[in-house]
């Protein structure tokens, strides 16, 4: 098992970095925001806590939560336009700057180093693509769940064939990326159990607690951070 120093070396020399989105790149859980928007916030938030704590399979939790919310296409689009995802704050440099601002400081720093950046999320494609656009991440580098709608816009379920729809799905995405692009060193960064279980096949997992601390992840992750400037500092080491 790699030491903390070895994990930091992997991060500094990574070919690709995969970020979770909900409670990592953005401050909130997208499904909880959608639930609140649709009037079932409290019940769904409790389901999310159980899912992120690793006490129930991800697909079972996702199915149950969406069964309660039953969001229409119009509601999803209105959520994005009226309550866009709040990007995670970062560092103060020459005045307050968001780490994930339109320039996407950490993301752009990685990209400048030739690192491929991906968003791998159990959230919803339409919301995650909105985040990707703000960070100058190609939508082809987004892996997330796709909601399905009937012709009249009513909720029709979700695409259960997507790897991110089930426990272990993020690991499947990383395996796919390694096979497709021949990446040697892939880093996964996230707040939840589904992120931590993606390593392996990821070569390094970095737990993130800047928005919410998941006890299981904080206890088990060898490298755990609460501010993204810790990763910026690591990049400056080289």
- pLDDT at position 98 is 43
Q: State CA 174 to chain mean position distance.
A: 13
Contact 186, 18 (CB under 8 A): yes
Which candidate, 123, 118, 137, places its Cα nearest to that of 180? 118
| Whole-number Å distance between alpha carbons of 175 and 137 | 20
Look at residue 118 and give its three-state secondary structure: strand
Q: Which two tokens stand for residue 189?
A: 């960064």
Quick check: 96 pLDDT over 80? Answer: no
| Whole-number Å distance between alpha carbons of 145 and 58 | 12
Exposure class string for 78-90: b at 16+ Cβ within 10 A, else e: ebbeeeebebbbb
Contact 21, 144 (CB under 8 A): yes
Can you give the residue ranges of every domain in the chain? 4-28+85-236
Look at residue 190 and give its three-state secondary structure: strand
Percentage of the chain beyond pLDDT 70 is 88
pLDDT digits (tens, 9 = 90+) for 135-162: 888 999 999 999 999 999 999 989 888 8
| Secondary-structure class of domain 4-28+85-236 per CATH | alpha beta
| Whole-number Å distance between alpha carbons of 184 and 140 | 20
The average pLDDT across 77-96 equals: 67
Catalytic residues: 20, 22
- pLDDT at position 54 is 58
Q: Are strands 204-208 and 186-190 parallel, antiparallel or unpaired?
A: parallel
Mean pLDDT over all residues of the chain?
82
Q: What is the largest CA-CA distance in the chain?
A: 54
* Residues shown for the chain: 238
């Amino acid at each position: 098992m790699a030491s903390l120093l070895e994990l930091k070396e992997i991060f500094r020399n990574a070919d690709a970095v995969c970020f979770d989105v909900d409670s990592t790149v953005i401050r909130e859980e997208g499904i909880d925001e959608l639930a609140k928007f649709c009037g079932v916030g409290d019940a769904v938030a409790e389901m999310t806590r159980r899912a992120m704590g690793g006490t129930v399979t991800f697909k079972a939790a996702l199915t149950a939560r969406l069964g309660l919310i039953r969001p229409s296409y119009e509601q999803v689009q209105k959520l994005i336009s009226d309550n866009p995802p709040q990007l995670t704050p970062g560092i103060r440099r020459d005045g307050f700057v968001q780490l994930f601002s339109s320039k996407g400081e950490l993301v752009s720093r990685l990209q400048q180093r030739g690192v491929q950046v991906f968003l791998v999320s159990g959230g919803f494609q339409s919301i995650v693509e909105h985040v990707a656009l703000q960070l100058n991440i190609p939508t082809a580098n987004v892996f997330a769940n796709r909601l399905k709608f009937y012709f009249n816009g009513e909720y029709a379920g979700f695409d259960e064939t997507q790897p991110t729809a089930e426990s272990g799905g993020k690991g499947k995405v990383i395996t796919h990326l390694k096979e497709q692009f021949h990446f040697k060193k892939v880093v996964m960064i996230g707040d939840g159990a589904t992120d931590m279980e993606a390593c392996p096949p990821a070569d390094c997992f970095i737990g993130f607690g800047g928005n919410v601390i998941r006890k299981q992840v904080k206890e088990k992750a060898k490298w755990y951070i609460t501010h993204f400037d810790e990763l910026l500092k690591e990049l400056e080491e080289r």
